[in-house]
Amino acid sequence: MIGRYRPAFSVLKHSMAKIKKAFFCNSCGYESPKWLGKCPSCGNWNTFVEEVIQTGANPSQATSWGDYHQPADQPSATGNSGKSKGTKIVTLDQIQTREEARIQAADAEINRVLGGGIVPGSIVLVAGEPGIGKSTLFLQAGLELSNYRVLYISGEESEQQIKMRAARISSQNDQFYLLTETVTQEIFKEIRKLKPEVLIVDSIQTLQSNIIESSPGSISQIRECAAEFQRFAKETNTPVFLIGHITKDGSIAGPKILEHMVDTVLQFEGDRHYAYRILRTLKNRFGSTAELGIYEMTATGMRPVSNPSEILITQKTEELSGSAIAASMEGMRPLLLEVQALVTQSVYGTPQRTVSGFDLRRLQLLLAVLEKRGGFLFGMKDVFINIAGGLKVEDPSIDLAVISALLSSYEDKPLPPTICFAGEVGLNGEIRAVNRIEQRVQEAEKLGFEQIIVSKYNKKGFDQQVKGIKVTALGKVEELYDLLFRD
């Protein structure tokens, strides 16, 4: 009798062996077979959570694309049959390269951040804060791809909600399809029927795979779902956009391996109380990571901004103190923006230091330089710095504009409206050289500025015979004060 139940017992034992438990770090996705107090990868404490992993199913069986047919002008990375080619060791001289035909989006800013267009077979991760406009931007981009069959997969919103947003965007596309589903196995069944040419997933944190037993949004689910879409993109040569979330500290939610799995990582950022947004490239295997796109949020969707300098500079009818124009660089794009400063007598015991769009520690450094090298008494003054337009700027070349705005407010004398600044300030009060000075000078000249103040160490970085704008090279902060405020 015991022998009869031996096969059943062995089957039960075999099925139980297929289920595995592991602990994952919520911060970086590090996997451990047991609970750890401190993550050995990122160093954070008490971040490990237990998840149940099902390893019995074969993930490749759930996403077999042997019958998936691509257009003739888009050959599959593994051949038109979808079957993997035999691999062998080759030298670099034996590899034949060809220029990949990219899909040109109607949005020039998306083409810019992707390095010249959408690469077939690429997988792109787009992350940003809730409500910043990620879904609106890529719904609009999908609707504008009128020559391609686009599938938009939503796990967060209903069909009616997406229809209302699409009606507000006012873009029409007869080849735009919508699917509201969260289980990847069901999603791929519909994909086999439709055979889309562009795929948009909103969002990767809402999806779940039957291969994994953990809940949607967990580290193992995000990793498995992203791996399934990665296999789909590479085997069918179909571009895939994954919209993701970020954590409260600003990093992309999910395991760190998620950013390594994808080809391109885009960060959509900006202050939701302002109209302007920045689409920044953090990683790109097909182009430069120094590109960014600038948008303006309107009632009809995201409007690409081709010349942001004109809208970031306040059009004032009268000259006011505490305002200076900085010739900055955002990625590869020159950008002129307005730095506003307010210096007032402190009415409380401790002076305030408040910034918006600028680094507070950088402001304290510049104030210390002005006190030590220039003799200006900011110790009993309240100081406020604001970058107009809601932008957050990390370029050190705006130091000179911040110094000029502070001195203008301190002396209560307005700066000439036709002058701008580009220079970094060191601890000794020296004005240091900045990169791409020629592009900054050309942008200032194009917008009608008559004079730009730069570092004297930048003399070799641009043509001295620039027409239409006067280039003034200075070496010390004291020289800046003498030039602007001494009668």
Binding-site members for ATP are 128-135
Contact at 8 Å (CB) between 316 and 341?
no
As a whole number of angstroms, the distance between CA 56 and CA 405 comes to 65
- Considering only CA atoms, which of 324, 326, 406, 395 is closest in space to residue 364? 406
User: From the annotation, which residues make up the binding site?
Assistant: 128-135
Contact at 8 Å (CB) between 483 and 453?
yes
Give the gyration radius of the chain's Cα atoms.
28
The reply to whether omega before 203 is within 30° of 0 (cis) is yes
- Considering only CA atoms, which of 411, 399, 426, 430 is closest in space to residue 324? 399
Amino acid 425 reads: V
As a whole number of angstroms, the distance between CA 72 and CA 80 comes to 9
Q: Provide the phi-psi class of 459: left if phi over 0, else alpha when psi is between -120 and 50, else beta.
A: alpha
- Measured CA to CA in angstroms, residue 431 lies from 157, 338, 425, 436, 464 at distances of 52, 20, 5, 16, 19
